[in-house]
Structure 1
């Protein structure tokens, strides 16, 4: 049974799995070697020391390995650490990634099925075929269903990319009909595919970070590459439709300063950008409010990306949409 770091107390006997975030060696005043570790899981991190059998343990695991640790929690200089008596490397199939990284609170399989079903509403045969190729790509789907949407700003959790994509696509469905003349099929397809390059841009098997191609190319370029590769499998795919779809992807950040190669130049691109930006910002602020409200205060710490503080107001009890509220008021009268 997994024991989380935030549950460990002084004098506890520890027997649980952790991720090795840092590993270094040292020598005591008496000249004896020891290993200094920093262990993590989804609840936090803790220092650890190996004082005995150092030579036997040193080569048995490395930084970024999952390990089984046995030992005792002690207090050293007012900080908790584990004195390790046994440590062994674990295979990835022996652990649950959700024990080590934040996980979406929503059901991944249900979200994926909902997104697929929305995509099935696309009536344009070329866009429908394109989406089908992505859903039939099991390697892509496996990455897409588990990837985070960012390393820290919004939807920073396993399954976060899928959650954000579904949320954006639902926003498109809820708002596009308000503005006659928009290409709904193009918008649905663009919303489903807008961030697909993040499956290659981000690394998330050991910690949330960036791959080499993610740093050098970015998710917009990587996403365009994936879309173009699928379109090549559809020889009758119209060139103009391909251009409009790719424009949605390359312009969805909206501004050059936000990493967008082009600014939105179609109505569909404008809508996609603003809805994407809103979904990311609302989730990111809510994420920040949960983690950064100062004790005894209703204010967060300073958010460096938004360049401001946020006020943590009490949540409203209102759950009904306005039309139902109006309807209820009229019935009472």
Structure 2
């Protein structure tokens, strides 16, 4: 019998008194299906799988019985196709992921300092796949699939104006610090779909994780005692600026200060834009938590 193959996201999992359980899925064509799967197989609600199934009749109803299945994260799928699937099944960043990736990699390619380049690129390559899937947070800003890379790309674009006005800033440090500052959120959060903070995320956090990870990479590359490593680590450590927000150090180099400002600007302006998009012209928004619960007026000006 010919197998039916398709990608689908599991919506619910129901146990039965038989040797097969039922799972309700939404397929890529937005159709809903009920699948039967052996009771010993482990699947996760909310996750995307590639299913191979065959039609069966169970209690006089036509259903599909799963013969094989693979979690999307265990598959070697081209970048563009993976992003298409993510956009189909989840709330996604409101921009084209290919454009985000092109932007980020163009800025990384512009780094001329060899030590900064190899440190940053090695870290980027290690987390690359997850980096384009994870949100930047569980709530407040960029809290959707692809939010982390979208936030990073926007921050990189904002550097152009600062570098033009303040040419004493080191471009390589600034670009490197932006790429690294949140990259370990892929380990701080449990997954990219409906994430929670991991045990390590709660007890250590993405700032310390990134500093540790960069130290290991530097040791492996023979860059352990370089000025570049020290400065990049400082930028990661200080980008939240305040201790009660997770930074053990305040900014002590200009690039770290600009990184903090750019991070703050993009996170708050993104939330403000999203809130204004849901507000009628001539009206005020609801209180916005990340902006001290202030209400913002949406003007009628074009």
Relative to the length of structure 2, the TM-score reads 0.72
Change (3 A) 1:102 1:214: same
Offset from partner CA, 1:69-128 (integer Å, 9 cap, x none) = xxxxxxxxxxxxxxx996877644499332332111222223222212212222212112
Does residue 90 of structure 2 align to residue 101 of structure 1? yes
Q: Say what the alpha-carbon RMSD is for the aligned residues.
A: 3.9
Offset from partner CA, 1:236-263 (integer Å, 9 cap, x none) = 4543321111110010011112121111
Does residue 118 of structure 2 align to residue 129 of structure 1? yes
Does residue 129 of structure 2 align to residue 142 of structure 1? yes
Task: Find 2:287's aligned residue among 269, 292, 302.
Answer: 302
8 Å contact from structure 2 (residues 174, 259) kept in 1: yes
Task: Find 2:103's aligned residue among 96, 114, 120.
Answer: 114
8 Å contact from structure 2 (residues 189, 198) kept in 1: yes
Q: Distance in 2 between matches of 1:239 and 1:98?
A: 41
Change (3 A) 1:236 1:259: closer
Relative to the length of structure 1, the TM-score reads 0.66
Q: Distance in 2 between matches of 1:309 and 1:58?
A: 53
Larger radius of gyration: 1
Change (3 A) 1:121 1:305: closer
8 Å contact from structure 2 (residues 215, 224) kept in 1: no
Q: Distance in 1 between matches of 2:110 and 2:238?
A: 24
Deviation at 1:270, TM superposition (A): 1.1
What stretches of structure 2 of length at least 5 have no aligned partner? 1-6, 16-20, 28-33, 52-60, 76-81
Give the ranges of 4+ consecutive aligned residues of structure 1 lying more than 6 Å apart after TM superposition.
37-41, 87-90
Q: Distance in 2 between matches of 1:85 and 1:57?
A: 14
8 Å contact from structure 1 (residues 19, 100) kept in 2: no
2:221 maps to which residue? 234
SS of 1:20's equivalent? strand
Task: Find 2:256's aligned residue among 269, 282, 285.
Answer: 269
8 Å contact from structure 2 (residues 239, 260) kept in 1: yes
Deviation at 1:289, TM superposition (A): 3.6
1:165 maps to which residue? 152
For this pair of structures, how many residues does the alignment match?
Answer: 267
Q: Distance in 1 between matches of 2:138 and 2:116?
A: 30
